[in-house]
Structure 1
Amino acid sequence: MKKITSTPLLYFLVLALIFSCSSDDDTVVDSDDDNGMEQPEPVSALNLSDYDNGSRVMMQAFYWDVEPRFEWWNTISGKIEGWANVGVNRIWIPPASKGQSGGYSMGYDPSDYFDFGNYEQHGTIPTRFGTREELEGMISVAHDNNIEVIADIVLNHNSGGGLEYNPYRERDTYTLFDETHGNASGMFNRDYEDFYPNSVSEYDPPSLFYQETNLDHHRERVQDWLWKDENSVAKYYKNVMGFDGWRFDYVLGFEDFVIQDWLEEVGGFSVSELWDGNPEIIRNHIDATGSGAFDFAAFYTMEQAFDRNDDLTELTNDQVWQTHPEKAVTFTANHDTEKDDNEDNIIASENKLKAYAFIMTHPGYPTIFYLDYENPEFQEQLNKLISIHNSLATGSVNIIYNDNDEYIMQRNGDGNNPGLILYINTSGNAKRRTITTSWNSTILMDYSENSSYYPMADENGEVTIEAPANGYAIWSVTE
């Protein structure tokens, strides 16, 4: 995959020049006015498959409380070929092992790391998602379509064990995990010594979940069972089950060395859920672990720009992709942000496609949320955005113009790849703006097909482009 560069200092110097030289009312015209220009005849679009930039996108292949229960692995299996055909190269699935909630568990209350729906415990043999056989079948279908399967790994909190007296807490705790207490596989049996505090670790780290069953990763046997031994969670998931990478859940609940050691032991693609809007905190985690991370800084930037503050100047805020483009996993929604009771951490549906246009054209590794892709109002446009991302979204970033309701950005391309220009407009009227591009003496078109306008860039690269009301267009050259 080609390396995409975006130097933060240059990025903001260019931005400063834009704000100092541009005026919002000098070149904006209504879209039904050709501004005295002759409209060129439509010409042939580029064949985007000829401009494969090596980039792809990931599908989050679930949502909270997926239905129908016990059928999810089969549901995914039936969609994988279609996802592969449009340019998806990885699917992220929910935690696949048995949780305390049994057939109702989304997997984030892990009890038996090695029960994939083949042991009877917590009131069920299959997990909420199906049987082990169906999971292995789904993974096989994915591999047949050149798609990697990313396992969601919950490494700090456990749930569903039996009661035992815990001398370090001086009371009974649910810290006994064995064949008859939430660990029917008999692998990685645990007791109170494996959780904080214990005879080795007095420290009791803060955790939002299951404080008394927070695994102590400093203990040698915990490390052996999680990633070191041949039958460890990491090696069993990779070598026996066939998982290709990792999504580390709630990394604020344990120390960076856990992920660093895990990846040194088994490798594979990885992305951390570090839910914090501060990009420096996320960058520090990336540097310390070697793992990728979800770009929550970009998510909150988009939420503020499109929803909360309705101000596109916020799209230039500090984001992880600006400095770590190959490690920043960008997204517009996930299973947590889209929960029914969520009011504060969500990008509104009417702004979703603009947010997807942003992440599909900027550096980073975009993720598509399952329910967004299944939305019939979104899917056709998302397929176009994936195609644009996998072809023309390459090269350095140049912010051409930005104000409260307009954002124009150019990816400068790479070699024979011409790159693209993204024009977002959140006003109630269609807009046009005359800009200077790196293209000259060529006709442009909107590859998102939200505009049927075909402007001509002159010999100096000057061209007037447009964006529909409360929408976007993605411009590039034609044949």
Structure 2
Amino acid sequence: MINGVMIQYFEWNLADDGKHWERLKNDAAHLKEIGVSAVWIPPAYKGTFSGDVGYGAYDLWDLGEFNQKGTVRTKYGTKEELIDAINELHKYGINVYLDAVLNHKGGADETERFLAIEVDPENRNEEISEPKEIEGWTKFTFPGRNKKYSEFEWNYTLFSGVDYDNLTGKTAIYKIAGENKGWAENVDSELGNYDYLMNADVDYSHPEVRNEIINWGKWVINELNLDGFRMDAVKHISEDFIKEFLIEVRKVYGEKFYSVGEYWKDDLDTLKTYLENIGYETDLFDVGLHFNFHKASVEKENYDLTTILDNSVMLMDPIKAVTFVDNHDSQKGSALESEIESWFIPHAYAIILLSEKGYPCLFYGDYYGVGDNKSPHGWVIDKLLYVRRNNAYGEQINYFDDPNIIAFYRKGRENEINTGCVAILSNNEDGEKAIEIGKDRIGQVWEEVTGSGFEDVVIDEEGNAAFRVEGQKIAVWIPKKQ
């Protein structure tokens, strides 16, 4: 079994040139070469305008096929180009996961008038107005698609809230009033109730809404030949629906159909409860580990590296952990900005790519670059990917005994003496770690592969060796091919 790697194949500042699916197709062979086994693609359906990253989801059934919102293509290209890219990835044995934005809809076709109650944005359970008539963007008729694939249309009764009153021009959080209306109960309790996030908030208490989205899920998997979903903003969506949605699509596409959920919270108890409540139907991004990386990068030598894995899904439930360094939400200028400082990015990738536990996800911005700026880290990530493919196997032994220098040793595949690796991370000064490699390796020569220039190391007669690292750098050591 070769170690799998996911890549998030987009970042916030990609050009609105409609060429991204083409770039992805042309990159398929290279992705295979570096060991990528799955690609998380951005939301591939029509957003509010051509440059929409996809989270302002307008029409889930329009994959860049219809003239809507002033464009046929999405930011990334046409449906045909997307299918070509997916076919190319599959040719190289790479899975494709689509970003599923199911919490809200943006860019409505018409406004409607209805009764709504303004709520306190800091406590959505607290009503701060009587029911009053507002005018909201809640009517979705999708005229450009003309009922192809789905005849379903949306109106205010199918949403639970909006954030803008067209009558007064006021931006606020409005809970739509009416019989059996209200926020979903089984969502995150932040801000009292975190059902409402943005735009027109989908109300999953309606059976027809649930059916429409489940039907879309089955259709889009078939249409694009998908292997999985990345489920956006799951802490804002009814737990019952997420569970039902994944169970229903797997009835058609099998238990191996993959899912990873974005629950942006670093409270481990909350995530554990969430996994239990949805019957472990999805993996989760390891947000706690990301925040550890962020804190370590900011605090530098004052951060205790022995705590770097604390409060992580990787430690709690490694089978369910998708580990990552940064993503489009954490990168500079984003709503949830918590970008890892540049010096620590190699450290964070060494942890997620070389550890025994977790399913690592590369970020396009870290590997290729942000906007027009090429990433300074691509070369070191390539080195780490090489070690992941060839060496990072077997049991992991942690040497987390110093707040400023930690290391871990992967023993390698059984009876394959040229596998195994040692990773050492420093956040302060130069140093070294004595590592017990094993008596079966006596006399073996190990080399450092991230360009430190250190001399090779020979495993001594006790099966031990001292491996060096430069200050605030990483060093990765592997057996030298004889």
Q: Normalising by structure 1, report the TM-score.
A: 0.81
Match of 1:21 in 2: none
Matches within 5 A, 1:123-138: 123-138=70-85
- Residue-by-residue CA offset, 1:231-267 (whole Å, 9 max, x unaligned): x111111111222210111111112222222221223
Equivalent residue in structure 2 for 1:247, among 204, 211, 230? 230
Does 2:214 match 1:214?
no
Describe the superposition over 1:90-116 as per-residue Cα deviations: whole angstroms up to 9, x where unpaired: 11111111112x112111011111111
AA of the residue aligned to 1:436: E
**1:114 alignment partner in structure 2:** 61
1:448 paired residue number: 449
> 2:123 corresponds to which residue?
none
Deviations 1:364-414 (A, max 9, x none): 111111122124532232122112223432334322243232011123445
Question: Within 5 A, what are the aligned runs for 1:355-370?
Answer: 355-362=348-355, 363-370=357-364
Is the 1:443–1:454 contact (alpha carbons within 8 Å) kept by the matching residues of 2?
no
Unaligned runs of 5+ in 1: 1-52
Deviation track 1:432-453 (CA, whole Å, cap 9, x = no partner) reads 2333334541424245343443
What residue number does 1:334 align with? 327
Q: 1:105 aligns with which of 20, 35, 52?
A: 52
Q: Name the structure 2 match of 1:38.
A: none
Alpha carbons of structure 1 residues 192 and 183: separation in structure 2 relative to 1, 3 Å? farther
Query: Is 2:221 the partner of 1:238?
Result: yes
What residue identity is the alignment partner of 1:204? W
CA gap of 1:261–1:419, structure 2 versus 1, over 3 A, is: farther
Tell me which residue corresponds to 1:190.
154
- Percent identity between matched residues is 26
Distance 2:205 2:308 in 1: 41
1:296 lines up with 2:287 in the alignment? yes
Q: Which structure features the higher share of strand residues?
A: 2
Q: Does structure 2 retain, via aligned residues, the 8 Å contact 1:69–1:103?
A: no
Given that 2:16 and 2:50 are in contact with CA atoms closer than 8 Å, whether structure 1 keeps it comes out as no
Shift in CA distance, 328/316, structure 1 to aligned 2, threshold 3 Å: closer
Higher RCO (CA 8 Å, separation ≥ 6 residues): 1
- Residue deviations 1:404-435, cap 9 Å, x none? 32011123445335532211122243x22333
> Which runs of 5 or more structure 2 residues have no equivalent in the other structure?
118-132, 161-175, 185-193, 251-256, 369-373
**Partners of 1:444 and 1:338 in 2: how far apart?**
40
RMSD of aligned residue pairs (Cα, Å): 2.5
Matched to 2:342, the amino acid is: S
Aligned to 1:26: none
Task: Classify the secondary structure of the residue corresponding to 2:141.
Answer: coil
Do residues 94 (structure 1) and 42 (structure 2) align? yes
- 2-structure distance, mates of 1:224, 1:277: 32
Q: Does the Cα contact within 8 Å between 1:91 and 1:147 map onto a contact in 2? A: yes
Residues 5-54 of structure 1: CA deviation (Å, up to 9, x unaligned): xxxxxxxxxxxxxxxxxxxxxxxxxxxxxxxxxxxxxxxxxxxxxxxx43
Match of 1:24 in 2: none
* Structure 2 counterpart of 1:389: 388
TM superposition score normalised by structure 2: 0.81
Is residue 433 from structure 1 mapped to residue 433 from structure 2 by the alignment?
yes
Instruction: Tell me the CA shift for residue 182 of structure 1.
Output: 9.1
Partner of 2:424: 423
Matches of 1:125 and 1:393, distance apart in 2? 45
Does structure 1 conserve the Cα–Cα contact (< 8 Å) formed by 2:328 and 2:334? no
Asked if 2 retains the 8 angstrom alpha-carbon contact of 1:64 and 1:339, the reply is no
Number of equivalent positions: 420
**1:246 partner SS:** strand
Cα distance change on mapping 1:344 and 1:167 into 2, 3 Å: closer
Q: Does 1:284 align with 2:277?
A: no
Aligned to 1:277, the other structure's residue is in SS state coil
How far the C-alpha of 1:203 sits from its partner, in A, is 2.2
CA–CA separation in structure 1 for the residues paired with 2:28 and 2:394: 30
In the alignment, what sits opposite 2:124? none
- Counterpart residue identity of residue 25, structure 2: S
